[in-house]
Structure 1
Amino acid sequence: MTQNTPASRCHFRLPSDVRQRVLSAEQLKAHGVSPARAAAQCLAGGPWQQPLPGVYVLHPGPPTGEERLRSALLYVGRRRGAPAQAGAARATGYGEAMVTGLAALALYGFSAAPPVGSLDRIDVLVPRTRRLRSARYVHVMRTSELPRPEQLGGLPVAPVARALADAAAGLGDASAVRRLLTEAVRVGHCEPAAVVRELSRAKLLGRPHVVNAVDSLLAEGRALAESRLYEMVRTYDLPEPLWNVDLRLPGGPHLGGVDAYWPGEAVAVALENRTPRHGTLDDGRRQDDGENGRGHDAEWSADTAEREHLERLGITVVHLTPRRLRDAQEHQAAVVRTALMAAADREPAAYVVILPR
């Protein structure tokens, strides 16, 4: 058979758990197909193709978007001369690799992300210790902090916040970055603080187009949290409060702003916005996204001091996070209702001036 002669078809039984006709050279070898035989199947007019080194698509037509993703993961997951992997890594051949960037966002269903099949580049996240070059449409991204992946359709995918940061790193279009970040919050994929933390980790907060996108992200997150607060009050028949007011002592200093205030009961609700502003997170410092612990940035410290001052004046401040309003709205309504009912048993609060903010 000459080099231009189409190869004869190679028949072997695929295991039942292989849903896509995409296999690595190692997987083919395990099924009795030698590297030489696999290469012969990819000659001109042959039934297979080799989109990436060591990876084969077992049909002649254009690979689908999912097949391109599986090919990319198999390419970066291969380890020549390494001991056999165990568990899921051995079953898939992907190792610790995961899809990130725009391809991951497309898998999460982002309308602002192009379909996988139209992407010229697929970003794949691997441990920093891997010595592997990018190839063709696969862009290898190394990291010393590998996140725990989500599983979407049998594919390991980076968490949304990480995928957003990796996508933003490769985009120079401010409007495209802004659309992705605001969609992440509006649809409920993740909280703003998690996104800003990942952008800070990637040292992207100094880029002007990212800074502008973060402004939109924070505004979207704030508006969404306020909308959930309005919904909670009305859904669970809480008394209507005064919305978005500043509190001051008569003739005295500003005490702070609150998102809802019941003057008769001296109860305030304050949305905890621990999302760091541009540049307030050191790249190596981790900060909680609004559920466990306290941030130590100056903005959080100032907010804490204001609210502690209100409480010393006899005003009960109920702290609500955007995540709690999203995931446990009924419970948060019960917390507010309890605070309102307990007002009758407390000493009267100091008189304060209420101003719109």
Structure 2
Amino acid sequence: MTHDTPLSPRPLHHLADGRRRLMTAAQLRAHGVSAAETGRQCRPGGPWQQLLPNVVLLHAGPPTSEERLHAVLLYAARERTPAAVSGGPAPASVPRQPGGQQPFAADPEAMITGLAALTLHGFSAAPPLPSLDALDVLVPRLRRLRSTGCARVVRTAALPTAVRVTGLPVAPVARALADAVAGLTDPGVVHRLLTEAVRGGHCEPAAVVRELNRARLLGRPHVVDAVDSLVAEGRALAEEHLYRMVREHALPEPVWNVDLRLPGGPGLGGVDAFWPEQAVALELDTRGAHRRQEDDAARAEQARRREHLERLGITVVRLAPRKLRASPEHQAAVVRTALMAAEDREPAAYVVVLPR
């Protein structure tokens, strides 16, 4: 038996029965279709078409966006046994996708990224899938693949954990953003995508900046400007969540956004909220979202400032914006505990409170 010999001579119409619309060459061979027969079916005017190398579309019309996504993932997936790939029977626990295409089988080494991933994540600023000439697919750096047709290969040394969107493996938002920004030159588009990532609650500014820094994109002027707006947007949202937490969980009203100073002495720095009677200061931990990595000296200076406040008897509470948004009840309990503990402490040093 040769490589192209059909495993069983079955009619071809059973393959395009509405349940499968894409198959790899290996899957077709497993269904008894030789390479020669596949080539005949894919001739101009034939009932099939080769959408990507080794990926066959089992109808003659234009592929849908869903079919293009599945085709790109099939092209990038490692060769596996026919029963393990997308053309095989769908698991009973996974519903079929619209249009009759089987849900894509898990492949930890290929996922949709870039603008297509952002569209799948629900970004209104990302273009619709039909308008994208190429779909980015993220694979390990050592994979021997090339960009071709509608598949644009993006390589990475550290593959993130994919998330499932409509049954497809998709890069997390922060990674998809970095891969999208890498190919964009329009400052307005970059700004809108980064702003929506934070305003829409898709991810934290710090996560986006880490990915942009990893991709060495922070040296591009239009990216730097967009990141500055991203950080400002993230901080404004964090402050809004902080105000809401204080109101909705009946915490005592603090003084907001103030500088602390010793009488006649040096400044102690600014805090986002301060309860003078309890000597409790609150800081939003947004330093990780800065567009440039902090050096050791800056981090050490921040630590010294906090230690100085605590030596003066001022309790410093630091809240991460992500936790403030995800679990305001828990964060309110942390603040309330600090306020209640003030009764058991020695009185704090007197400090001057000035508007920031």
| Closer/same/farther in 2, CA of residues 93 and 186 from structure 1, 3 Å limit | closer
**Residue 323 of structure 1 aligns with which residue?**
322
Distance 1:156 1:77 in 2: 11
Q: With the length of structure 2 as denominator, give the TM-score of the two structures.
A: 0.87
Deviation at 1:99, TM superposition (A): 0.7
The residue matched to 1:337 in structure 2 has which SS? helix
Range moving further from structure 2, 181-190 or 37-46? 37-46
| Closer/same/farther in 2, CA of residues 19 and 118 from structure 1, 3 Å limit | farther
8 Å Cα contact 1:206-1:279 kept in structure 2: no
The residue matched to 2:302 in structure 1 has which SS? helix
Deviation at 1:279, TM superposition (A): 3.8
**Residue 26 of structure 2 aligns with which residue?**
26
8 Å Cα contact 1:280-1:297 kept in structure 2: no
Q: Does 1:241 align with 2:266?
A: no
Q: Does 1:12 align with 2:20?
A: no
8 Å Cα contact 1:101-1:165 kept in structure 2: yes
| Closer/same/farther in 2, CA of residues 85 and 241 from structure 1, 3 Å limit | farther
**Residue 314 of structure 1 aligns with which residue?**
313
Deviation at 1:42, TM superposition (A): 2.1
**Residue 75 of structure 1 aligns with which residue?**
75
Letter matched to residue 138 of structure 2: L
Deviation at 1:113, TM superposition (A): 0.4
| Closer/same/farther in 2, CA of residues 165 and 130 from structure 1, 3 Å limit | same
8 Å Cα contact 1:99-1:158 kept in structure 2: yes
**Residue 60 of structure 2 aligns with which residue?**
60
Deviation at 1:309, TM superposition (A): 1.1
Deviation at 1:211, TM superposition (A): 0.4
Distance 1:209 1:202 in 2: 15
Distance 2:314 2:337 in 1: 14
Q: Which of the numbers 114, 125, 129 marks the counterpart of 1:101?
A: 114
The residue matched to 2:203 in structure 1 has which SS? coil
Letter matched to residue 195 of structure 1: V
Deviation at 1:84, TM superposition (A): 4.5
Distance 2:108 2:262 in 1: 61
| Closer/same/farther in 2, CA of residues 105 and 165 from structure 1, 3 Å limit | same
Q: Over the residues paired in the alignment, what is the CA RMSD in angstroms?
A: 2.2
Q: Does 1:205 align with 2:207?
A: no
Deviation at 1:277, TM superposition (A): 3.1
- Residue correspondence of structure 1 range 1-357 to structure 2 within 5 A: 10-12=12-14, 21-79=21-79, 84=81, 92=105, 96-280=109-293, 297-357=296-356
8 Å Cα contact 1:73-1:99 kept in structure 2: yes
1:187-210 alpha-carbon deviations (Å, 9 max, x no partner): 111111111111111011111111
Distance 1:189 1:347 in 2: 43
Distance 1:60 1:306 in 2: 69
8 Å Cα contact 1:74-1:94 kept in structure 2: no
Distance 1:266 1:225 in 2: 22
- Sequence identity (%): 65
The residue matched to 1:178 in structure 2 has which SS? helix
Deviation at 1:354, TM superposition (A): 0.5
Distance 1:339 1:70 in 2: 53
Aligned residues: 330
Letter matched to residue 12 of structure 1: H
Deviation at 1:297, TM superposition (A): 4.5
| Closer/same/farther in 2, CA of residues 266 and 94 from structure 1, 3 Å limit | closer
Distance 1:155 1:30 in 2: 24
Range moving further from structure 2, 135-144 or 157-166? 135-144
8 Å Cα contact 1:20-1:67 kept in structure 2: no
